Amino acid sequence: MTEQEIIKLTNQVFEESFEIEKEKLKPEMNIFQDLGLDSLDIVDLVVALQNKFGVKIRNDDRIKNIRTLGDIYKFVLSLKAEGASPSL
């Protein structure tokens, strides 16, 4: 899976689960202030990312540091580098 594919699939999660327009999905966007997510949405974001990428990340402490969409791209890329999931 390439970086571009990860970005595409992550953006799909934001469009499908949080109804955010494609034009707003830029790496520098803060997922709370700019994209309007709250703490409950983060639970659903984790479930959606797990489903999209076939990973288990619910207990991964790095989630707490995520602020921007770019942080999510990097997080998923790091999972790929670690070989966290066979589907990556």
Partner 1 sequence: MKRVVITGLGAVSPLGTDVPALMQGIEEGKSAVRYMDGWNQYTGLRSLVGAPAKVVNEKLIPRTIRRSMGRMSIFSVQAADQAFADSGINREMISSGRIGCIVGSTMGSSQSLNDAFELMLPEKDLTCLPAMKFFQCVSHTAAMNVAHYLGLTGYVMATSAACASGLQAVGAGYDLIRLGKQDAMLCGGAEELHPTVTGSFDILFATSANFNHEPEKTPRPFDANRDGLVCGEGSGILLLEEYEHAVERKARIYAEIIGYHTCGSGVHVSQSNKDSIIGCFRHALKDAGIGPEDVDYINAHATATIHGDKEEAEAIREVFGGFVPVSSLKGYIGHTLGASGSIELIASLIMMDKECIYPTRNLESVSHDCEGIYHVMNKLNKKINILFKNCFAFGGINASIVCKKLK
Give the residue, chosen from 26, 33, 43, 78, that forms a contact with partner 1 under the rule CB under 8 A.
Answer: 43
CA atoms of 33 and 64, how far apart (whole Å): 16
Q: Which residues lie across from 68 on neighbouring strands? A: 30
Binder among 40, 64, 65, 83 for partner 1 (CB under 8 A): 40
Q: CB nearer to partner 1: give 56 or 67.
A: 56
d(CA 54, CA 38): 23
Q: How far is the CB of 16 from partner 1 (least distance, A)?
A: 12
Residue 58 found at the interface with partner 1 (CB under 8 A): yes
- Characterise 26 by phi-psi region: left (phi > 0), alpha (psi -120 to 50), beta (else): beta
Q: Does 60 bind partner 1 (CB under 8 A)?
A: no
The CA distance from 28 to 59, in Å, is 25
Give residues in contact with partner 1 (CB under 8 A).
18-19, 36, 38, 40-41, 43-44, 47-48, 50, 56, 58
